[in-house]
Amino acid sequence: MKAVLVLENGSVFEGVSLGAEGTTVGEVVFNTAMSGYQEIITDPSYKGQIVTMTYPEIGNYGLNTNDKESDKPYIEGFIVKEASKITSNFRSQASLDDYLKEHSIVGIESVDTRKLTKQIRVQGSLIGAISTESNIDTLRKLVSDFEIVGKDFVKYVSTKKMYTFKNGIFRLGFENRKTKKIVDNKRVVVIDFGVKRSIMKYLIEVGFNVIVVNAYSTYDFIKSLEPNVVFLSNGPGDPRGVDERWMGEYRKIIETYPTFGICFGHQIILRAFGVKIYKMKFGHHGGNHPVVDLQTEKVFVTAQNHNYAADEKDSLEKGFKITYKNLNDGSVEGVKHKGLPIMSVQYHPEASPGPHDAEYLFEQFSNMVLEN
């Protein structure tokens, strides 16, 4: 079946239907990872976005229940050059096409993803629509009506009920690595803006008792849980879209407890202190972004997924020091507060998918319990 992709700049890409039939609209971004498509599809941070994979063949090792980052996919659509018809992996339980159909995700293949990526790099992230049934004029209307900047997408992905997370990292039999014993006096409350399961698995890995709460939780509620530390998770969309009244609650929380934030959580921490957050041209999405530790000058290859970043000058003026920078564009990749036990990073140290260069940060967070 034929499918079509229409962009806000007027471009039209014809292709073949992948996944469910129908119509979808969202912000089109590109991801440079060569694998890990299941983690990308199920990452709540992609709510509101249509993901283009730059690697030409996607789906060759299938999908399974262990590697998903949430209960269901949150992407609005999926674009690939070629979806593999063969899945070859002893853990595979479904093909890419079947998985997308099962979860009603509209996709398109046989698209010139190199041309599409170049347009996004030159013009910035673009609103687009994929359809197997609507005409071009209808899709252009959908595209013109869609908004993501300044909107709160957290409400669509954050947990409705508090829960305790207990699942560890999947390991092959030959891996000689043990998870630390979980102890009650290492209780971390995860404020869920759209948390990836792999992040919580790494928190389990370093011995935390993990309690997950809704993103719109008050200081008094967090206090009643008696945490030792607090974690602010990744999440979708524009951090400026979260209502200003919550910034006061978050600031009281992170001024009271040792705090670690990743990606969206990093931006919320800084925003709570009044730091300016800005929209990047096309963001960072993929598993090959170089980041430098400004203290050691060591370079890490990192996984990233964000369209927004913190202003460096404003961060310094509001009491933070810059700990990491992106070597491609110089954007802020990490901070520590000058007077409080607060640290955060823009990239994803848990990877999934991507390199594991920076997973040591979870151990640093664990040490905050002892140090504070």
Compute the distance between CA of residue 308 and CA of residue 302 in angstroms, rounded to an integer: 17
Catalytic residue, chosen from 82, 263, 266, 284, is 263
Between strands 126-131 and 23-31, the pairing is antiparallel
Residue 138 makes CB contacts below 8 A (sequence gap 6+) with 131
Catalytic residue, chosen from 284, 289, 306, 348, is 348
User: 47, 131 in Cβ contact below 8 A?
Assistant: no
306 is catalytic: no
Which token pair is 214?
A: 């809704």
Q: Could you tell me how far CA 213 lies from the centroid of its own chain?
A: 18
Compute the distance between CA of residue 117 and CA of residue 30 in angstroms, rounded to an integer: 6
Structure-derived torsion over alpha carbons of residues 271, 277, 283, 289, reported in degrees to the nearest 10 = -60
Catalytic residue, chosen from 76, 249, 333, 350, is 350
CA dihedral sign, ordered 41, 178, 264, 163 = positive
Which token pair is 162?
A: 């508090």
Compute the distance between CA of residue 171 and CA of residue 294 in angstroms, rounded to an integer: 33
Compute the distance between CA of residue 131 and CA of residue 140 in angstroms, rounded to an integer: 11
348 is catalytic: yes
Name the nearest CA neighbour of 69 among 154, 148, 156, 157: 157
Number of H helices, E strands in the chain: 10, 19
Q: What is the DSSP secondary-structure string of 235-291?
A: -SS-GGGS-THHHHHHHHHHHHS-EEEETHHHHHHHHHTT--EEEEEEEEEEEEEEE
350 is catalytic: yes
Residues annotated as catalytic are 263, 348, 350
